[in-house]
């Protein structure tokens, strides 16, 4: 892929799309403003585009600005809805008058994509990838990497680590996993949407890290699977809790989420999943809504859009590398969406 292709890909997540809550009828025109996570943005764009063909009366402007900025805009009431891979903190929700409803709309995988085209089947142990993002493993032919890749031509070259520059739900999930598998990482860096990384060049958004990986020799970074897939970036197989090296397939992500118990607030984490076939870094990702909207037309349009995402939208997930929600989860989310009015 060319860099121009990447720019085109990056640009799509800020496109203004036309939607409507009831196709063909002359309903009130509604404009919905949304902002937040870049992790699910390609899928949300697909949903909006598919939905718009039959529903021309509602405009949705979704800006891929990162989970932290999206949540802030939601709390400041400059957007109608937000999206976040870090969900929302209880103390943040307490500051929102009228109540907040978080809905998991899809799930996905965080992959360690890299620029070593000559090593397409790279395996990284837990020791190795924690070491890379802790700044303790700095060369590609380090023994911790070499021992799991005996037949690979690992370069005697520095590892150029790429991390997020913005407040990021993807970072939150990634650091939550690293902290779960490494007491040292938990102590030195910890779980955060914007940690003080001990190593790395910073790029904004999943889009920015993807672009950096394509242009920086010897680089590695953490991004949502679909971004790596769309640009044909190699992705490492990661060692899971059971000790197996697992590629980021849909089946491996489903195995990771199988043990998740969905609580009443619909916020659940799987920082180090059980299961021999489980891919180790997976997450649900949430859309965030007010429970009460002053504009009833907006509330109606949002409920219709949510319903599309939970029905026909789920059928579009897998092609982009996301994990369709299990039917029991869809049922819980549909019921929770009824609180939006």
At residue 26, the pLDDT reads 58
Q: Per-residue pLDDT tens for 145-160?
A: 999 999 999 999 999 9
* pLDDT over 90 at 28, yes or no: no
pLDDT tens for residues 318-328? 999 999 999 99
Residue 12's pLDDT is 43
| 206 pLDDT more than 50 | yes
pLDDT (mean) for 125-140: 98
234, pLDDT greater than 50: yes
pLDDT tens track for 105-129: 999 999 999 999 999 999 999 999 9
User: Which H or E run contains 129?
Assistant: helix 126-134
Task: Give the other-Cβ count within 10 Å of 216's Cβ.
Answer: 16
Is the pLDDT reported for residue 64 higher than 90?
A: yes
Q: Which pLDDT belongs to residue 69? A: 97
pLDDT band at 6 (very low <50, low <70, confident <90, very high): very low
Upper half-sphere CA count for residue 318 (Cβ side, 13 Å): 11
Q: How many Å apart are CA 253 and CA 317, to the nearest integer?
A: 13
Q: What is the pLDDT of residue 15?
A: 40
Give the integer Cα–Cα distance in Å for 231 and 100: 36
What is the pLDDT of the chain when averaged over all its residues? Answer: 91
Please state whether the predicted TM-score (pTM) of the whole model is above 0.75: yes
- Domains of the chain as residue ranges with CATH: 3-107+285-337 (3.40.190.10), 110-257 (3.40.190.10)
Least confidently predicted of 2-11, 95-104, 179-188, 199-208 = 2-11
Question: How many Å separate Cα 230 from the centre of its chain?
Answer: 15
User: Does the pLDDT of residue 130 top 80, yes or no?
Assistant: yes
Q: What is the pLDDT of residue 257?
A: 94
Give the model's pLDDT for residue 321: 93
The CA-to-CA distance between both ends of the chain, in Å, stands at 44
């Amino acid at each position: 892929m060319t860099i121009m292709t990447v720019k085109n890909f990056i640009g799509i997540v800020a496109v203004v799309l036309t939607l409507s809550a009831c196709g063909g009828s002359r309903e009130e025109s509604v404009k919905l403003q949304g902002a937040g996570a870049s992790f699910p943005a390609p899928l949300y764009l697909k949903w909006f585009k598919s939905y718009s063909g039959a529903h021309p009366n509602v405009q949705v402007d979704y800006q891929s600005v990162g989970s932290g900025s999206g949540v802030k805009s939601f709390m400041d009431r400059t957007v109608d809805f937000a999206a976040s891979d870090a969900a929302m903190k209880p103390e943040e929700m307490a500051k929102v008058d009228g109540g907040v409803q978080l809905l998991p709309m899809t799930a996905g995988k965080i992959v360690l994509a890299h620029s070593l085209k000559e090593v397409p089947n790279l395996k990284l142990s837990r020791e190795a990838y924690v070491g890379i993002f802790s700044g303790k493993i700095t060369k590609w032919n380090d023994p911790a990497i070499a021992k799991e890749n005996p037949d690979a031509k690992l370069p005697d070259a520095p590892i150029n680590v790429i991390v997020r520059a913005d407040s990021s739900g993807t970072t939150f999930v990634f650091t939550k996993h690293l902290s779960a598998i490494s007491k040292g990482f938990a102590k030195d860096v910890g779980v955060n949407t914007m940690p003080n990384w001990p190593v790395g060049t910073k790029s904004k958004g999943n889009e920015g890290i993807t672009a950096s990986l394509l242009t920086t020799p010897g680089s590695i970074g953490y991004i949502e699977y679909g971004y790596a897939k769309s640009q044909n970036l190699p992705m490492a197989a990661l060692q899971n809790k059971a000790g197996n090296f697992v590629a980021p397939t849909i089946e491996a992500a489903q195995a990771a989420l199988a043990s998740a118990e969905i609580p009443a607030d619909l916020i659940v984490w799987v920082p180090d999943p059980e299961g021999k076939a489980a891919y180790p870094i997976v997450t649900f990702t949430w859309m965030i809504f007010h429970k009460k909207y002053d504009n009833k037309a907006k509330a109606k349009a949002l409920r219709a859009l949510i319903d599309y995402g939970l029905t026909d939208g789920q059928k579009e997930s897998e092609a982009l590398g996301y994990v369709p929600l299990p039917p029991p989860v869809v049922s819980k989310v549909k019921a929770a969406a009824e609180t939006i009015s």
